[in-house]
Structure 1
Amino acid sequence: MKKSLPAFVLTLWRWRASYLFLAPFLLLFLVFIITPVLTSAGLSFTYYNMLEPPRFNGWSNYKLLFVDDDIFIKALTNTFYFALVTGPASYILAFLFAWLIHQVPRRIRPLYTTMFYIPSLTSGVAMAVVWLVLFANDSYGYLNSLLMVAGLIDEPIQWLQNVKLIMPVIITISLWMSLGTGFLAFLAGFETINTELYDAGKVDGIRSRVQELWYITIPSMKPQMLFGAVLAVVGSFKVGEISQAVAGFPSPLYAGHTIVLHLRDYAFLRYEMGYAAAISVLLFLIIYGLGKLCFRMFASKGEL
């Protein structure tokens, strides 16, 4: 009787206990991840204002995104600029600080870990309020005051009004808050490395900490490197809260406008859910594609 059943049914029955334990997570993943993604993909081909039933309009939303919506192109450019700077920078800083903390005596590591990790626990709005005092546009701003006392400038710099300076300010604040989960993953990864590898490396000619890092540490931490890379990609493309708190919404000449803010504008202010869904689908495809690139870079051959 069992031989007549399909192979996948037999496999499910064989591992029924494992799938039973996985069922709660799979159910939540289906309801809160898969279903919203598929719903957004469907709504992206409609006109939907939440007052009337969705009306199918084909590719009109996507055509409007790339042909007629100049603000979206500006948001897309700002987001990629932000991601190209903060993505690699936050990833490298998280790994570098985790490596440096791993070099200090074990008894004081928790202190340094806490000091570097705490900024990531603070909300973007709260952290931006603190930084607003530093980058205030008048002479009472800490940075302007310091530069004027030092004689480097004669009048206050408009940090949050100058369109050329808004994005660098946002990047600075974001990098300060970037040592989050990826940073902890790197710290945990350093603890899992077999110390005998370093002894073997010394026998093979490795003489410096940098050589140990390049030839032993990084190859031994591929899972953590992959995890940190994916987090860096996702974090760099979801920027919006800090930009809104620092530069306002909308920012001067949309200098700090990002894809997430553009999505929020059409979804929660204009209630054009079909168009907002098209923006979210495009953002999902960008993050998914970069995530696959991270997998190819850091995953082993058997995991591709």
Structure 2
Amino acid sequence: MRLRAAVLPTGLLKQIWKERTAYLFMAPFLLCFSAFILLPVIMAILLSFTSFDAFRFPEFVGFQNYIALLTQDTVFMKYALPKTIKFALFVGPIGYLLSFFVAWLIYQLPKSIRDVITLAFYAPSMAGAIALTVVWQAAFSGDYVGYLNHFLLQAGLIESPVLWLQDPRYLLNVMILVTIWMGFGVGFLALLAGFDTVNKELYEAGKIDGISNRLQEVFYITVPSMKPQMLFSAVMAIVGTLKAGAISTQLTGMPITQQYAGHLILNHIDDYAFIRFELGYASMVSVVLLLISYVAMKLSYRLFGSRDGE
């Protein structure tokens, strides 16, 4: 056993040297992945067990940060976590299903106009903060000239302007609406491209087997045939949902919204990292968000991942 354990690293090095050309081509990606993904994650995990203010050397505190999150951080338990769950439940599944449905509708159009319609839906995701600032702040402006207020006043549905971005009752709903509108990104394009990968002969075989309408075609043929694209789109939807905390700051111009109305987990991290400079605690919240993302990813793989025999 000792001899085998001693020989194993040498054999591994020989195998790497044998495949050195492949590793050479992989090196740029591996270096970037290690420097910008792997190393920051490891540093965040290590800092999550410390008290660190960016000025003094980190002080090891064990699990005190995690205990404080569960027992003392009322803002996280009362606002950040529930609002993130609500935000994710609406933006994630609804945005994902809406992307699939819109992609399916666009795919039914003639090829000559399909690209134009696709660009119209994809363009908002490229505009980013510019669209948020120019379009949505004007649309939800709290004065008489705001697009939504002006329309509702003209229709007689309200008597005075509504402060859509300042009123805690409406802000989270506005954030959900804007995020869904901007959700037609790379995942949407992957779904649209996925329809081209479906074997058209399967639809003819399905009709012979008793499939009688388009809904059954989508459920029994289209979705099972494009699981890789469905999985990729689901992963992109999860990532986009969990990193969307900056949208409240972009809409309101405030790092912390009034009464924590739009306070998501990412805003909680920014609060402790860049306002309070409690970087150890912020790293711990980042690790918690990473674990939540991991659970969501595993669920996506269970739903859309390939199984044995497929």
Match of 2:176 among 155, 171, 178: 171
Are 1:49 and 2:53 matched, yes or no?
yes
Counterpart position of 1:110: 115
Are 1:240 and 2:251 matched, yes or no?
no
Query: Equivalents in 2 of 1:286, 1:231: separation in Å?
Result: 15
Q: Contact conserved, 1:125 with 1:245, CA < 8 A, in 2? A: no
Give 1:5 deviation, angstroms.
Answer: 4.9
Residues 123 and 54 of structure 1, relative CA distance in 2, 3 Å threshold: same
Are 1:159 and 2:164 matched, yes or no?
yes
Give 1:14 deviation, angstroms.
Answer: 5.0
Match of 1:271 among 277, 295, 304: 277
Query: Across the two proteins, how many residue pairs are aligned to each other?
Result: 300
Are 1:70 and 2:96 matched, yes or no?
no
Q: Contact conserved, 2:142 with 2:164, CA < 8 A, in 1? A: yes
Counterpart position of 1:197: 202
Are 1:28 and 2:26 matched, yes or no?
no
Q: Contact conserved, 2:132 with 2:250, CA < 8 A, in 1? A: no
Counterpart position of 2:304: 298
Q: 1:163-201, CA deviations, whole angstroms, 9 ceiling, x for partnerless residues?
A: 111100111111110000100000111111111111211
Secondary structure (helix, strand or coil) at the match of 1:206 reads coil
Counterpart position of 1:230: 235
Q: Contact conserved, 1:129 with 1:245, CA < 8 A, in 2? A: no
Counterpart position of 2:152: 147
Code of the residue aligned with 2:170 in structure 1: it is L
Q: Contact conserved, 1:125 with 1:241, CA < 8 A, in 2? A: no
Residues 178-193 of structure 1: pairs in structure 2 closer than 5 A: 178-193=183-198
Give 1:13 deviation, angstroms.
Answer: 4.8
Query: Percent identity among equivalent residues?
Result: 48
Residues 93-132 of structure 1: pairs in structure 2 closer than 5 A: 93-124=98-129, 126-132=131-137
Query: Equivalents in 2 of 1:126, 1:104: separation in Å?
Result: 27
Q: Which deviates more, 137-146 or 185-194?
A: 137-146
Counterpart position of 2:3: none
Counterpart position of 1:138: 143
Q: Contact conserved, 1:124 with 1:241, CA < 8 A, in 2? A: no
Q: 1:12-58, CA deviations, whole angstroms, 9 ceiling, x for partnerless residues?
A: 45544333322221222112111110111000111111111111111
Q: 1:179-233, CA deviations, whole angstroms, 9 ceiling, x for partnerless residues?
A: 0010000011111111111121122222222121111100001001111111111
Residues 229 and 249 of structure 1, relative CA distance in 2, 3 Å threshold: same
TM-score normalised by structure 2 residue count: 0.92
Secondary structure (helix, strand or coil) at the match of 1:179 reads coil
Give 1:126 deviation, angstroms.
Answer: 3.6
CA RMSD across the alignment: 1.8
Q: Contact conserved, 1:129 with 1:246, CA < 8 A, in 2? A: no
Code of the residue aligned with 2:140 in structure 1: it is F
Q: Which deviates more, 17-26 or 111-120?
A: 17-26
Q: Contact conserved, 1:128 with 1:242, CA < 8 A, in 2? A: no
Code of the residue aligned with 2:101 in structure 1: it is L
Please list every run of 5 or more consecutive structure 2 residues that lacks an aligned counterpart in the other structure: 1-5
Give 1:299 deviation, angstroms.
Answer: 0.7
Residues 83-94 of structure 1: pairs in structure 2 closer than 5 A: 83-94=88-99
Match of 2:294 among 288, 295, 298: 288
Q: Which deviates more, 13-22 or 65-74?
A: 13-22
Q: Contact conserved, 1:193 with 1:217, CA < 8 A, in 2? A: yes
